[in-house]
Amino acid sequence: MKVYFHDNFYTVYTSDPAAAPGRMEAVVDTIAPHVDICSFSPATQNDLLTVHPKSHLERIRRKGLYEIAALAAGGAIQAAQTGMDEPSFALIRPPGHHASADSCWGFCFFNNMAVSLHQLRSTGRIETAFILDFDLHYGDGNVNILGNEPWVEILNAESHSRQAYLDQVKHALHLTAADVIAVSAGFDNHVQDWGGLLTTADYRTHFWRD
């Protein structure tokens, strides 16, 4: 499996928890023996302008966060392109599912998901997309940008019951006929994190159609 990562993500680019030291090192050290770690280029300004106005880009630039956020969006684009042929994963930060078109919060600056899906669609790789957001927190940025698009389905899985949560995901995946399944992958629903709901094995579950 190809995992897209850049050494610049080791940088502590701001004081929020998503940028804390040691987080990326722990992940890379664990997965490196099992995956093919690949580098990539940052998203271009034109890539970002497909979902964000220039005023938003300039706001992030003034914060000194444009380069690292554009790099994360570039990783999402590359993972999406590869994902059309084989499973792939973007190990990137800052995250993006709380970034709306002209606003952002929750440690997100550019909407990596929206940028990458628009790139796939504009190049003719897809006509439709399904987004599974299994982060503990509702992906309002994804919904604000893509929720009214007729070519996008979004599931922000929610349940206080582990089995009901898994059943909800399975049901939605079995119904979709989208060209690509994209995932906003926050793992804070893990039993050892805030959500306290899902086991490690749950994240490895295959929801094959019957």
pLDDT tens, position by position, 163-210 = 999 999 999 999 999 999 999 999 999 999 999 999 999 999 988 665
Global pTM reads 0.96
Residue 169 lies in a domain: yes
Residue 210 lies in a domain: no
What single-letter amino acid sits at 136?
Answer: L
Residue 22 lies in a domain: yes
Residue 5: predicted pLDDT: 98
Q: The CATH number of the domain where 88 resides is what?
A: 3.40.800.20
Exposed, middle or buried: residue 49 (CB in 10 Å: 0-12, 13-18, 19+)? middle
- Domain containing 162 equals 2-204
Residue 210: predicted pLDDT: 54
Looking at the 3D structure of the chain, how many domains does it have? Answer: 1
Residue 73 lies in a domain: yes
Which residues carry out catalysis?
Answer: 98
What single-letter amino acid sits at 68?
Answer: I
Mean pLDDT of the chain: 96
Residue 122 lies in a domain: yes
What are φ and ψ of residue 115, in 5° steps?
A: -60, -45
In the chain, % of residues over pLDDT 70: 99
H/E stretch holding 180: strand 180-184
Using only C-alpha atoms, the chain has a radius of gyration, in whole angstroms, of 16
Residue 154 lies in a domain: yes
Q: Find how far residue 5's CA is from the centre of its chain.
A: 13
Residue 32 lies in a domain: yes
Q: Which residues of the chain have pLDDT under 50?
A: none
